[in-house]
Amino acid sequence: MVTRFLQLLMCVWVGAVVSVAHAELVIEVTQGKQSAIPIAVVPFEWQGETAPPEDVSSIIANDLASSGYFSVMPASNMISRPTQLSQVVYPDWSRLQQDFVLIGRMSVLPTGYAVEFHVLDVHQQVEVFRHRVKGKASQLRDVAHYISDFVFKKLTGIDGVFSTRLIYVTTNRERTRFNLNYADADGAREQLIFRSDDPIISPTWSPDGKKVAYVSFENGRSEIFFQTLATGQREKIAAFPGSNSAPAFSPDGTKLAFVRSQLGNPDIWVLNLATRQLERITRHYAIDTEPQWAADGDSLIFTSSRAGGPQIYQVTLADKQVKRLTFEGKYNARPRLTADGRKMVFVHQSGDRFHIASQDIKSGRVHILTSETELDESPSVAPNGSMVIYAASEADRSILAAVSVDGEVKFRLPSKYGDVREPAWSPILQ
């Protein structure tokens, strides 16, 4: 038993070291919910001769902990390590003040692996649900995230986003190398999408998650490109004279809102991707930029300096009527709407500092979400509307950080080298 325990511990330890060495970004939770649910994720049983390709149970534990909705018990504090229902002694977990226990087994199949797990309610002393997931060795991280999503949805009622992806730009301090990267939402499995000696900004996802759009300065000025993730195929979409930037796909994926500056005056345009027909949406001598579609596709919210400093406005596409949305503070920019359309998050200047704020669309109430980080920018909302990822400055470097839309959960995704900027959270990927 002791040997077995040590073996398990070794597996966990080796797994942890390997994931740190490969992951560019590593999640550190800085603030969880007051009401975080206590859960014990018991290391899964493993019958193989050598260590499993992925430590599935610790990936699940990390996922649940990083969400802030769960307080995950360290394995070292566990009195027992059941892997079968018959081994569970509920009073043990009750004494450890756990609400739920997740146990499971991983077995080898001719074609890959199977992971079977149970979620147990400690107070009711019952199994809440069980599930079995299969995958190849290369898919075990996906299997782990799938289980995390499953558990998260069952226990919180909110869709999990552990199987989603991030794209972001990394750059050196001198700003002479720019990488557009793709990684799991927990920062693992980073892959390079596009590299340039010139700036890359404003990456964004198509609604089906198959394509990304971004702005590249590779030809000496800002132009918009599409890139298909599976093939790496690139397409230049907007390279009109002047500047082309701030791409945003319509919710149905048929149109692209972007900023085009004719004669140095940035306005918002919409490009029909099938017909390539262009329509000018705003016409104002001030800066109009950072368009984002409303969920119904009938209007755009955007940043404009028409009142002097940057404020957020909404324009109805049918009649081009413009309505101002933000009134608090002298700098409000880069709005992003939650999927339910009830809130928007944006960059808000408070005193000398820039923070991420949310505003209730109906009531107009503003809530500043971040305070620990500096120079916050580029907020992007998770597809379940619960979290916002953004770029911030910390100790002379740019890192990614995340905050829940209610401000209760916070985590950081620092990188080991260079600056990380411009994150974009993927839609739910099928």
- Min dist CB 314 to another protein, Å, is 17
The phi and psi torsions of 402 (rounded to 5 degrees) equal: -135, 150
Q: Which is nearer to another protein, 91 or 220 (CB)?
A: 220
Task: Give the E-state strand segments of 85-222 in sequence order.
Answer: 100-109, 112-121, 126-135, 165-171, 178-184, 191-196, 200-205, 211-216
Q: Which is nearer to another protein, 115 or 392 (CB)?
A: 392
Q: Choose among 358, 423, 430, 404: nearest CA to 207.
A: 430
- What is the residue whose two structure tokens read 């992007």? 380
> Which of 37, 128, 156, 217 forms a contact with another protein (CB under 8 A)?
217
> Which of 393, 407, 408, 418 forms a contact with another protein (CB under 8 A)?
393
Distance CA 373, CA 388 (A): 14
Binding flags for another protein, 177-216, as an x/- string (CB under 8 A): ----------------------x-xx--------------
Q: Which is nearer to another protein, 188 or 200 (CB)?
A: 200
> Which of 273, 331, 339, 368 forms a contact with another protein (CB under 8 A)?
331
> Which of 245, 370, 384, 386 forms a contact with another protein (CB under 8 A)?
245
- Min dist CB 421 to another protein, Å, is 8
- Min dist CB 269 to another protein, Å, is 14
- What is the residue whose two structure tokens read 């009401």? 35
- β-bridge pairing 100-109 and 37-41: parallel
Distance CA 411, CA 167 (A): 17
Q: Does 290 bind another protein (CB under 8 A)?
A: yes
Angstrom distances, CA of residue 35 to CA of 73, 156, 338: 15, 11, 23
- What is the residue whose two structure tokens read 């797990």? 117
> Which of 31, 196, 349, 350 forms a contact with another protein (CB under 8 A)?
349
> Which of 60, 268, 333, 401 forms a contact with another protein (CB under 8 A)?
333
- Min dist CB 122 to another protein, Å, is 46
> Which of 88, 294, 347, 388 forms a contact with another protein (CB under 8 A)?
347
Considering only the C-alpha atoms of the chain, give the largest distance between any 2 of them, rounded to a whole number of Å. Answer: 75
Question: 359 has which bridge partners?
Answer: 344, 366
Rounded (5°) CA angle 64-182-389: 50
Distance CA 104, CA 100 (A): 13
Q: Which is nearer to another protein, 45 or 422 (CB)?
A: 422
3-state secondary structure of 111: coil
- β-bridge pairing 343-350 and 244-249: unpaired
Q: Does 396 bind another protein (CB under 8 A)?
A: yes
Identify which range of 30-38, 66-74, 167-175, 276-284 contacts another protein by CB under 8 A: 167-175
Q: Does 421 bind another protein (CB under 8 A)?
A: yes
Q: Does 173 bind another protein (CB under 8 A)?
A: yes
Rounded to an integer, what is the distance from CA 427 to the centroid of its chain? 9
Distance CA 350, CA 227 (A): 37
- Min dist CB 358 to another protein, Å, is 16
Question: 75 has which bridge partners?
Answer: none
- Min dist CB 190 to another protein, Å, is 21
Q: Does 377 bind another protein (CB under 8 A)?
A: yes
Q: Does 264 bind another protein (CB under 8 A)?
A: yes
The phi and psi torsions of 276 (rounded to 5 degrees) equal: 60, 20
- Min dist CB 71 to another protein, Å, is 34
> Which of 170, 181, 216, 303 forms a contact with another protein (CB under 8 A)?
303
Q: Does 220 bind another protein (CB under 8 A)?
A: yes
Q: Choose among 261, 203, 269, 255: nearest CA to 234.
A: 203
Binding site for another protein (CB under 8 A): 173-175, 199, 201-202, 217, 220-222, 242-243, 245-246, 259, 261, 263-266, 287, 289-290, 303, 305, 309-310, 331, 333-334, 347, 349, 354, 374-375, 377-378, 393, 396, 421-422
